[in-house]
Amino acid sequence: MRALISVSDKSGVVQFAKELESLGYEIISTGGTYKVLKENGIKVVEASEVTKFPECFEGRVKTLNPYIHGGILYRRDKQSHLDEAKELGIKGIDLVCVNLYPFKETIQKTDDFEEIIENIDIGGPAMVRSAAKNFDSVIIVTDVKDYDEVIDRLKSDNNTLEFRRDLMIKAYEHTASYDSMIANYMNKRFHGGFGKKQFIVGEKVFDTRYGENPHQKGALYQFDKQFSKKFITIKGEASFNNLTDISGAAKIASAFGDENAVCIVKHGNPCGFAIKDSLLESYTEALKCDPISAFGGVVAVNGIVELELAKKMNEIFLEVVFAADFSDEAVEELSKKKRIKLFKQGTKRLELSNDAFNFKIVDGGFVYQDSDCVDDSEVLDATCQTKKEASAQEKKDMLIAYKVAALTKSNCVVYVKNSAMVAVGMGMTSRVDAAKAAIRKAEDLGLDIKGSALASEAFFPFRDSIDEAAKVGVSCVIEPGGSIRDDEVIQAANEHGMSLYFSGKRHFLH
């Protein structure tokens, strides 16, 4: 039996090779792996001895040879293959252990294109694909985490076809993601990230019990381990819908740096938000915006949940609390509710991955785009269009309203007063309907909108939304501007004694 080992990530490889050697495998290796194995006392054969041809072109060609690929690929169940292998002097290779050149690590550390090119693996993927194709007879190992199981199965004579098949699937996933990463990088470098092909690769974290509904299957996949690094389960199982709501709530709560931000979300939309001197006060004020919708909702806390906040949360039914962290006492208190689910990041403040792109499914395909982001300067540098300018507190309220609006389904308007959201209208087919819906809900709850700041994620096409805002005493408005009727909107704001600011940037969210 022979095993070919050629790895870039050499963790655990010496022990793996020693175990294979003890099981009677002859070890073949290349380059740096050969050197490491030889230095550690393993009787290893250099690939060039097998190929009868030296490594050449600065190591670019080492294993691309019939004595390697023939040994991997010939079928052990076909006599014609066995005869031909004997005639050609090709000996079987029964196990291939390969992981690929560190392309991702290279593009993260340098922009030197020559170095990047040299870290594109050629022989490695070829060997992986060859071994995977012949999984009926050959074991392909591409993950260091599989070393122990491979050895255990060989020792217990449990090297089943099903096991080799699973390793085969993992191998093709490995080469597919590697090639996708290279193609995406090249398109980003030379075509602005929008080439003729777009590859979206995710790694499964876990299956959800079901999808949006019980008759649908569902699972969570992550980019570059970004999710699992920042999602720790304390209590409960995150459902498909929980995950989308947590993401939406966390995006809003984390958008305010070190502020004590708390966001409550129901079905993907914010129904409460506040920033106060403490997280307890922030949650209390956020809950006032719409306590009816908050029932069974998802709460994101930009900080550490302590006991008093946990007690306040337990006054109603919340399905999920996602926070930077929890004190032990808070976990004990919240766990008194059997159905509540608790997740954390294990940090002091929420830290999102801020993915550089996003995409949405359309029938027969997907639309792909750069991620939208909101910079504080859009509000801080917004131009005042009216005679009246906003006060310092109004500007702070505008900033909060503007950021929340940018992360809320269009058409939307957000009203903020004293750093707490007091009304929100979202997902409406007209902006004035969003304004009216928000006002009506606030009035039903007895909330005072007078003196609030109003933000819209896109321009007001008519003055009617301004007129509606004036009726409830809105003091200042921020919107992108850009309507052919901007003059009418400005005139309306002046007539009502409001301050009106244009940011110059739209933030649709469909």
Q: Which active-site residues does the annotation give?
A: 133, 267
Q: Mean pLDDT, to the nearest integer, of 23-42?
A: 94
User: How far is the C-alpha of 72 from the C-alpha of 172, rounded, in Å?
Assistant: 16
User: How far is the C-alpha of 135 from the C-alpha of 96, rounded, in Å?
Assistant: 10
Q: Over the stretch 81-125, which tens digit does the pLDDT of each residue have?
A: 989 989 999 999 999 999 999 999 999 999 999 999 999 999 999
Q: Which pLDDT does position 148 carry in this prediction? A: 97
Round the average pLDDT of the chain to a whole number and report it: 95
Q: Which pLDDT does position 66 carry in this prediction? A: 87
Q: Can you say whether the dihedral through the CA atoms of 481, 486, 490, 495 is positive or negative?
A: negative
Tell me whether residue 226 is exposed, middle or buried, using C-beta atoms within 10 angstroms of its C-beta: 0 to 12, 13 to 18, 19 or more: middle
User: How far is the C-alpha of 214 from the C-alpha of 218, rounded, in Å?
Assistant: 9
pLDDT above 80 for 59: no
Cα torsion through 144, 243, 337, 325, rounded to 10: 60
pTM score, whole prediction: 0.90
Confidence band, pLDDT 50/70/90 cuts, at residue 17: very high
Q: Which pLDDT does position 428 carry in this prediction? A: 93
Q: Which stretch of DSSP H or E encloses residue 148?
A: helix 147-155
Tell me whether residue 377 is exposed, middle or buried, using C-beta atoms within 10 angstroms of its C-beta: 0 to 12, 13 to 18, 19 or more: exposed
Q: Which stretch of DSSP H or E encloses residue 26?
A: strand 26-29
DSSP-assigned states of every residue in 80-111: HHHHHHHHHTPPP--EEEEE---HHHHHHH--
Percentage of the chain surpassing pLDDT 90?
92
Q: Which pLDDT does position 438 carry in this prediction? A: 94
Residue holding tokens 């962290």? 325
CA angle 487, 488, 492 (to 5 degrees): 115
Confidence band, pLDDT 50/70/90 cuts, at residue 328: very high
Confidence band, pLDDT 50/70/90 cuts, at residue 426: very high
Q: Which pLDDT does position 65 carry in this prediction? A: 87
Q: Tokens in use for 73?
A: 């690929």
Q: Which long-range contacts (CB under 8 A, 24 or more apart) does 73-79 make?
A: 73/130, 73/133, 73/134, 74/134, 75/134, 75/136, 75/137, 76/136, 76/137, 77/136, 77/137
Q: Over the stretch 164-182, which tens digit does the pLDDT of each residue have?
A: 999 999 999 999 999 999 9
Q: Tokens in use for 374?
A: 């909101």
Count how many Cα atoms sit within 13 Å of the Cα of residue 374 in the half-sphere of its side chain: 27
Closest CA to 358 of 149, 193, 481: 193
Closest CA to 44 of 79, 13, 74: 13
Q: Mean pLDDT, to the nearest integer, of 434-438?
A: 93
Q: Over the stretch 336-355, which tens digit does the pLDDT of each residue have?
A: 999 999 999 999 999 998 89
Contact 415, 474 (CB under 8 A): yes
Strands 420-425 and 413-417: antiparallel
pLDDT above 90 for 48: no
Q: Over the stretch 437-461, which tens digit does the pLDDT of each residue have?
A: 999 999 999 999 999 999 999 999 9
Q: Mean pLDDT, to the nearest integer, of 467-478?
A: 96
Strands 261-266 and 218-222: unpaired
Contact 256, 420 (CB under 8 A): no
Percentage of the chain surpassing pLDDT 70?
100
Q: Mean pLDDT, to the nearest integer, of 63-71?
A: 88
Q: Mean pLDDT, to the nearest integer, of 291-301?
A: 96
Q: Which pLDDT does position 113 carry in this prediction? A: 96
Contacts of 299 by beta carbon, 8 Å cutoff, 6+ apart = 249, 262, 263, 264, 265, 283, 313, 318, 320, 321, 322
DSSP conformation class of 61: B
